[in-house]
């Protein structure tokens, strides 16, 4: 509690200001009603989101415990202070959160359990997962250990390196799980291109700036040798897998940078995000400056963590945890390369029925042009049109999108098929006697048809039984 006072204009109102917000009581403090009115005031020590489940977030706060979010709202796991760094793995719809502070994990609504880390790992300095193999993980302290059975209740770990110094950051390459990058506190990076082998080897390189305060790593999925790192106040890019570096700090503020991460699904334009101590920036490969990405963020923001839910579509969200201003999110679709894509509600409709097309394109799009051969309408400029197919057949669909990056088209041949609806449907059934032996009793059964409001259903009727 930071302050408590009486309303000088209404003596029945008592106000309380604490780490949970602003509250008012009208009965002398027996019951309280929140009056923060949407003010984002949570003091988050650390926070992260699931990369595979859109509504899943976990945060640790000052004095308000650990909380997690789902589409149903926010829920408390424990009270008091909770300050552990946390990470989610890549299992499908992951709600498994890993705590770096105590070497434990839990489903967000479950209990803390260990996950078999060797006793030599006293504090998990960082943990690296890989989307291509949800059972793969690397954990670093001064040692590096690896498991390929992460989803097991007791994963098996193998030590693959002993660096003898504090690990600041680890990263498993988005496009190649064999590539592992490790930055240590003495301005060194260790690179392995056979991290999945029985005895991985590491090549070490000196970094161009100190890393004693902060360091981070990200990779470009379709460019195996391209990586970005932060070293305290600087940002660097390498195109030869860490052997040499180019300073790309450009116009960034001179602060210890918090997190750097790349959009793994939009890698041809190298869309990279950077969280500094009070804001978020992004940069594309060809840019020589970083662009501020802080629309609607509070002007006074103490940035703690940056994470991302990413399914390659417009559903992707960037999440920002702050100390004192809560948790924030933003879409990134408009920053991606221009690429047409779509889905449909039913690719096998009956003739004469209407189906819904949904735009899944990326990039900053200004117009849409659809082509539906055999459909009504046969063309559309809507983002998400509906179409009816009145004739049986197989049909292609084409979408062309136009935006600041030019145009891009995709054609999906044989995408819609109404041929199945051309098969006539006729009611009929066959009489069958079903016999079975149970306790020396033979029972004869038959099927009866029972009419219901919108069709028929069948039930088994025991006709007779006799001993054999």
User: Tens of pLDDT along 136-189?
Assistant: 999 999 999 999 999 999 999 999 999 999 999 999 999 999 999 999 999 999
Torsion of CA 236, 240, 242, 245, to 10 degrees: -30
- Mean pLDDT for 326-334 is 94
Are 62 and 81 a contacting pair, CB within 8 Å?
yes
- Mean pLDDT for 426-444 is 53
Q: How confident is the model at residue 141, as a pLDDT?
A: 94
Q: How confident is the model at residue 299, as a pLDDT?
A: 82
Query: Other C-beta atoms within 10 Å of 116: how many?
Result: 16
Taking phi over 0 as left and psi of -120 to 50 as alpha, with beta for the rest, 106 belongs to beta
Strand ranges inside 284-393, DSSP E? 291-292, 303-309, 317-322, 327-331, 342-344, 354-359, 365-371, 375-376, 379-380, 386-389
Selection from 175, 172, 133 nearest residue 155 by Cα: 133
Are 95 and 53 a contacting pair, CB within 8 Å?
yes
Q: Does the residue 427 lie in any domain?
A: no
Is 454 found in the same domain as 329? no
Query: Where residue 221 falls among pLDDT bands split at 50, 70, 90?
Result: very high
Query: Other C-beta atoms within 10 Å of 57: how many?
Result: 25
Is 132 found in the same domain as 182? yes
* Count of alpha carbons within 13 angstroms of residue 449, beta-carbon side: 8
Are 298 and 325 a contacting pair, CB within 8 Å?
yes
- Mean pLDDT for 76-105 is 94
Taking phi over 0 as left and psi of -120 to 50 as alpha, with beta for the rest, 420 belongs to alpha
How many angstroms separate the CA atoms of 84 and 123, rounded? Answer: 11
Is 306 found in the same domain as 209? yes
Query: Where residue 2 falls among pLDDT bands split at 50, 70, 90?
Result: confident
Query: Where residue 468 falls among pLDDT bands split at 50, 70, 90?
Result: very low
Task: Return all residues near 46 (Cβ < 8 A) that are at least 6 apart.
Answer: 59, 60, 83, 84, 85, 86, 304, 305, 321
Q: How confident is the model at residue 443, as a pLDDT?
A: 52
The residue ranking higher by pLDDT, 453 or 183, is 183
Residue at a domain's end among 270, 305, 334: 334
The residue ranking higher by pLDDT, 20 or 210, is 210
Percent residues over pLDDT 90 in the chain: 75
- Mean pLDDT for 273-281 is 95
Is 135 found in the same domain as 30? no
Q: How confident is the model at residue 452, as a pLDDT?
A: 43
Q: Does the residue 54 lie in any domain?
A: yes
Q: Does the residue 87 lie in any domain?
A: yes
Q: Does the residue 11 lie in any domain?
A: yes
Residue 436 has pLDDT above 70, yes or no: no
Q: Does the residue 65 lie in any domain?
A: yes
Is 241 found in the same domain as 115? yes
- Mean pLDDT for 31-42 is 80
Is 286 found in the same domain as 137? yes
Per-chain mean pLDDT for the chain: 90
Greatest Cα pair distance in the chain? 95
The structural domain count of the chain equals 4
Is 360 found in the same domain as 329? no
CATH assignment of the domain containing 388: 2.60.40.10
Task: Return all residues near 49 (Cβ < 8 A) that are at least 6 apart.
Answer: 56, 57, 58, 88, 307, 308, 309, 317, 319
Is 446 found in the same domain as 322? no
Q: How confident is the model at residue 142, as a pLDDT?
A: 95
Q: Does the residue 428 lie in any domain?
A: no
Is 261 found in the same domain as 402? no
Query: Where residue 21 falls among pLDDT bands split at 50, 70, 90?
Result: confident
Selection from 213, 200, 124 nearest residue 161 by Cα: 200
Range name among 287-301, 304-318, 431-445 with the lowest pLDDT average:
431-445
Task: Return all residues near 358 (Cβ < 8 A) that are at least 6 apart.
Answer: 342, 343, 344, 345, 384
Is 367 found in the same domain as 230? no
- 330, β-bridge pairs: 318
Domain limits for position 442:
434-467
Strand ranges inside 240-331, DSSP E? 246-247, 259-262, 272-275, 280-283, 291-292, 303-309, 317-322, 327-331
The residue ranking higher by pLDDT, 359 or 440, is 359
Task: Return all residues near 195 (Cβ < 8 A) that are at least 6 apart.
Answer: 138, 146, 160, 172, 177, 178, 179, 180
- 229, β-bridge pairs: 217, 236
The CA angle 381-382-388, to the nearest 5 degrees, is 95
Are 175 and 153 a contacting pair, CB within 8 Å?
no
Residue 319 DSSP one-character state: E
Q: Does the residue 400 lie in any domain?
A: yes
- Mean pLDDT for 87-116 is 95
Residue 271 DSSP one-character state: -
Q: Does the residue 378 lie in any domain?
A: yes
Range name among 35-49, 203-217, 219-233, 251-265 with the lowest pLDDT average:
35-49
- 272, β-bridge pairs: 262, 283
Is 224 found in the same domain as 172? yes
Q: How confident is the model at residue 64, as a pLDDT?
A: 86
- Mean pLDDT for 332-349 is 93
The residue ranking higher by pLDDT, 176 or 295, is 176
Residue at a domain's end among 268, 301, 334: 334
Residue 455 has pLDDT above 50, yes or no: no
Span 44-70, pLDDT tens digits: 999 999 999 999 999 999 988 999 999
- 368, β-bridge pairs: 401
DSSP per-residue letters across 178-204? T-EEEEETTTEEEEES-TTSSS---EE
Q: How confident is the model at residue 454, as a pLDDT?
A: 43
CATH assignment of the domain containing 276: 2.130.10.10
Is 308 found in the same domain as 198? yes
Q: How confident is the model at residue 317, as a pLDDT?
A: 97
Residue 289 has pLDDT above 80, yes or no: yes
Q: How confident is the model at residue 342, as a pLDDT?
A: 95
Q: How confident is the model at residue 456, as a pLDDT?
A: 45
């Amino acid at each position: 509690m930071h302050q408590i006072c009486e309303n000088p204009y209404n003596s029945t109102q008592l106000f309380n200001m604490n780490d949970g917000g602003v509250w008012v009581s009208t009965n002398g403090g027996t019951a309280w009603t929140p009056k923060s009115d949407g003010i984002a005031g949570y003091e988050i020590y650390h926070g992260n989101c699931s990369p595979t489940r859109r509504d899943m977030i976990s945060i640790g706060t000052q004095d308000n415990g650990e909380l997690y979010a789902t589409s149903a709202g926010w829920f408390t796991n424990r009270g008091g202070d909770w300050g552990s760094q946390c990470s989610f793995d890549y299992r499908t719809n992951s709600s498994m959160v890993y705590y770096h502070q105590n070497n434990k994990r839990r489903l967000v609504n479950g209990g803390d359990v260990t996950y078999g880390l060797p006793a030599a790992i006293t504090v998990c300095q960082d943990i690296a997962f890989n989307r291509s193999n949800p059972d793969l993980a690397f954990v670093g302290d001064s040692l590096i250990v690896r498991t390929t059975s992460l989803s097991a209740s007791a994963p098996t770990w193998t030590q693959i390196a002993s660096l003898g110094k504090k690990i600041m950051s680890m990263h498993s390459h988005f496009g190649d799980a064999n590539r592992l990058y490790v930055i240590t506190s003495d301005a060194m990076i260790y690179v392995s291109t056979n991290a999945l082998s029985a005895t991985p080897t590491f090549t070490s390189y000196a970094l161009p700036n100190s890393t004693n305060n902060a360091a981070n790593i990200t990779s470009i999925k379709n460019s195996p040798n391209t990586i970005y790192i932060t070293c305290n106040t600087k940002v660097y890019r390498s195109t030869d897998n860490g052997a040499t570096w180019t300073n790309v700090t450009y116009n960034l503020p001179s602060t210890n940078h918090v997190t750097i991460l790349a959009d793994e699904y939009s890698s041809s334009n190298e869309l990279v995000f950077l969280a500094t101590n009070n804001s978020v920036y992004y940069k594309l490969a060809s840019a020589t400056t970083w662009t501020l990405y802080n629309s609607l963020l509070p002007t006074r923001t103490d940035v703690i963590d940056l994470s991302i839910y990413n399914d390659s579509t417009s559903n992707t969200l960037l999440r920002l945890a702050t100390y004192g201003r809560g948790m924030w999110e933003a879409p990134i679709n408009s920053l991606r390369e221009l690429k047409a894509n779509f889905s449909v509600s039913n690719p096998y409709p009956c003739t004469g029925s209407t189906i819904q097309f949904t735009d899944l394109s990326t990039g900053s799009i200004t117009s849409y042009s659809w082509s539906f051969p055999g459909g009504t309408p046969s063309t559309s400029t809507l983002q998400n049109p509906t179409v009816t197919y009145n004739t049986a057949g197989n049909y292609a669909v084409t979408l062309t999108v136009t935006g600041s990056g030019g145009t891009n088209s995709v054609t999906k041949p044989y995408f819609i098929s109404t041929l199945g609806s051309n098969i006539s449907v006729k009611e009929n059934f066959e009489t069958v006697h079903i016999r079975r032996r149970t306790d020396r009793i033979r029972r004869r059964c038959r099927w009866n048809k029972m009419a219901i409001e919108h069709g028929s259903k069948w039930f088994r009727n025991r006709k007779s039984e006799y001993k054999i």
